[in-house]
Amino acid sequence: MGASHAGNQLSILDGIFMAIKDDIDCYPHPSKGATTWMHEVRSVEKDAVCVSRLRSCGVILVGKANMHELGMGTTGNNPNYGTTRNPHAVERYTGGSSSGPAAIVASGLCSAALGTDGGGSVRIPSSLCGVVGLKTTYGRTSMEGSICDAGTVEIIGPIASTVEDVILVYAAILGSSPDNRISLRPPPPCFPDLSSLENANTLGSLRLGKYTEWFNDVHSTDISDVCEDVLKLLSKSHGCEDNRDSNTRTT
Catalytic residues: 21, 97, 121
Sign of the CA dihedral 125, 137, 168, 164?
negative
At residue 117, φ and ψ (nearest 5 deg) are: -145, 120
Q: CA dist 192 to 164, 172, 187, 195, 198, Å?
A: 10, 10, 12, 9, 12
Pairing of β 112-117 and β 17-21: parallel
Strands (E), 43-182: 60-65, 85-86, 89-93, 112-117, 132-133, 155-160
Q: CA dist 246 to 87, 165, 206, 241, 249, Å?
A: 39, 35, 16, 12, 9
CA dihedral 31, 37, 42, 48 (to 10 degrees): -10
Number of other CB atoms surrounding residue 205 within 10 Å: 9
Pairing of β 155-160 and β 132-133: antiparallel
